[in-house]
Amino acid sequence: MNNITVVRKLFRLSWNALMANPMRSFLTTLGIIIGSLTIIIVVALGEGAKKNIEQQYSSMSVTTILINAPSTVDGAASKLSYTDVEPIKQLPSIETAIPQLSGRVQIQYDGQSSNLSVLGTTPNIQQLASLKLTKGRFFTEEENDTHEKVAVIGAIVAEELFGNRNADVIGKTITVGKKEFEVIGLLEYKGGSVGPTTIDDSIFTPYSSTYRYVLGINGRFNMNAQAKDVKLISQAVDEISKSLRETHKLKPGMNDDFRVRDMGTTVSAAVNSSRTMSVLLASVGIVVLLVGGIGIMNIMYVTVTERTKEIGIRKAIGAQSEYILFQFLFEAFILSLVGFLIGCILSFGVYFLLNNLEVSVVLVWWSYVLSFFTTVSIGIFFGWYPAHKAASLNPIDALRYE
């Protein structure tokens, strides 16, 4: 009989002992189930958040600088406006800058009506946000200068208004707010966003016609600029702030009436905050597991006491202490392992549930590995002491125990 057979037999002994009291075993393992499930789901939520952030900013390069106006600055309206775009474009470290006038507007086509976001901007957004067209063309500087009512639409917009993402949209006339615009381009599906607006469900129109015919002063105004090089980002941020303070005529000591953030800082802040959240929640998972481990220890103590006589018999007929130790250790191990496995199965259920609720979750293999090792080490850690107690019982006293 080799070691593997011994281990298998001891496993069977432990399993039978647990199955003699299935309800108690299940309740004991409940803490472990919840703990391992928590770890898996927390990691999945964290990964989901990370993926969200990546997707949201995927269309923007790190050299992008976001300039916007906080909703209120001391009650006064921000002076950030279209006239700020040109001076920023001229700054030495800036490659280009674009205005963004955005708002939600009722869009109609052939009886189909949808509330979508409109983004009035200039053609250089195409380069800045690396937009790709599947059909038609982008509008030009001239069309912006002459207030042309032309529109480039995102893939989801095409789907909503025309039935599919690849519909024949060029030359069609859509009603944006109250004015008719001609569709001249269709964008490739991207799954990302330009700052606050997502690309796929937006309509891109020239800044001038958007301001004049659609949004006016009700639109939300902000700017994106692009630094010439990654090394110039912080210089660019400084230059933009300085330039805006000058054009807005802010005296020293007065607060900025705008906000300038570079992409790298913004993304890393978002990633950091989601990571902090994950770590926080994962520690909750570990605390739950610890409590579950104490539950195992508690029940193992009861089990050892209840089975003192059995231990005595086993020792009398020649069981070495290790056999007793491992028999009880395996019980703790099985409890935690089964708890982990049930937690795994439940994690799929929770995953589908959260997915249906449109919460972004991504299951990753390493969360299972993490959960497995935490769970099993806790089971063995807390099972060891009761098992050791069982193994070191004096056979005479144990046999006499009733």
Partner 1 sequence: MTNTLLSLKKIVKSYQIKSETYHILKSLDIEIKRGDFVAIMGPSGSGKSTLLNIIGCLDSPSSGSYILEDKNVSRLSERELAVIRNIHIGFIFQNFNLISSLSVIDNVLLPSFYLGKENYKRAKELLESMGLSDRSAFKPNELSGGQKQRVAIARALMNNPSFLLADEPTGALDSKTGKEIMDLIVDLNTKQGKTILMVTHDPLIAKRAHSIIHLQDGKIVHE
When asked if residue 320 is in the footprint of partner 1 (CB under 8 A), the reply is: yes
Phi, psi (rounded to 5 degrees) for 118 = -110, 140
CB neighbour list of residue 179: distance below 8 Å, 6 or more residues apart: 149, 213, 214
Q: Which stretch binds partner 1 (CB under 8 A): 49-57, 245-253, 316-324, 346-354?
A: 316-324
Residue 74 contacts residue 255 (beta carbons within 8 Å): yes
Residue entry with tokens 């807390």: 382
Distance of CA 279 to the CA centre of its chain: 13
Per CB under 8 A, 242 contacts partner 1:
no
Asked whether the CA dihedral 102, 104, 106, 108 is positive or negative, the reply is: positive
C-alpha 74/C-alpha 69 separation (Å) is: 12
Indicate which single residue of 6, 77, 353, 369 sits in contact with partner 1 (rule: CB under 8 A). Answer: 6
Among 71, 318, 357, 365, binds partner 1 (CB under 8 A): 318
Q: Is 389 in the site for partner 1 (CB under 8 A)?
A: no
Using the minimum distance from each CB to partner 1, give the nearer residue, 16 or 90: 16
Q: Tell whether residue 1 is a contact of partner 1 (CB under 8 A).
A: yes
User: Is residue 395 a contact point for partner 1 (CB under 8 A)?
Assistant: yes
Residue 255 found at the interface with partner 1 (CB under 8 A): no
Contact 248, 109 (CB under 8 A): no
Please report how close the Cβ of residue 303 comes to partner 1 at its closest, in angstroms: 11
Report the distance separating Cα 389 and Cα 163, nearest Å.
71
Q: Is residue 22 near partner 1 by the rule CB under 8 A?
A: no
| Of 223, 236, 264, 235, residue with least CA distance to 94 | 236
- Which of 328/340 has CB closer to partner 1? 328
| Rounded least distance, CB 386 to partner 1, Å | 18
**Choice from 135, 172, 314, 389 touching partner 1 (CB under 8 A):** 314
Tell whether residue 290 is a contact of partner 1 (CB under 8 A): no
Residues 319, 341, 350, 380: which binds partner 1 (CB under 8 A)?
Answer: 319
Q: Left if phi > 0, otherwise alpha if psi is -120 to 50, otherwise beta: which for 327? A: alpha
Residue (36 or 303) nearer to partner 1, CB: 303
Non-local (6+) Cβ contacts of 235 within 8 A are 93, 227
Smaller CB separation from partner 1, 5 or 90? 5
Our CB check for partner 1 shows the closer of 194 and 335 to be 335
d(CA 241, CA 160): 40
Q: Applying CB under 8 A, does 316 fall inside the site for partner 1?
A: yes
- Write the interaction track for partner 1 spanning residues 338-377; mark x where CB under 8 A is met and - where it is not: ----------------------------------------
Burial group, residue 4, by CB count within 10 angstroms (0-12, 13-18, 19+): exposed
In the complex, which residues of this chain contact partner 1 (CB under 8 A)? 1, 5-6, 9, 13, 16-17, 20, 309-310, 312-321, 323, 395-396, 399
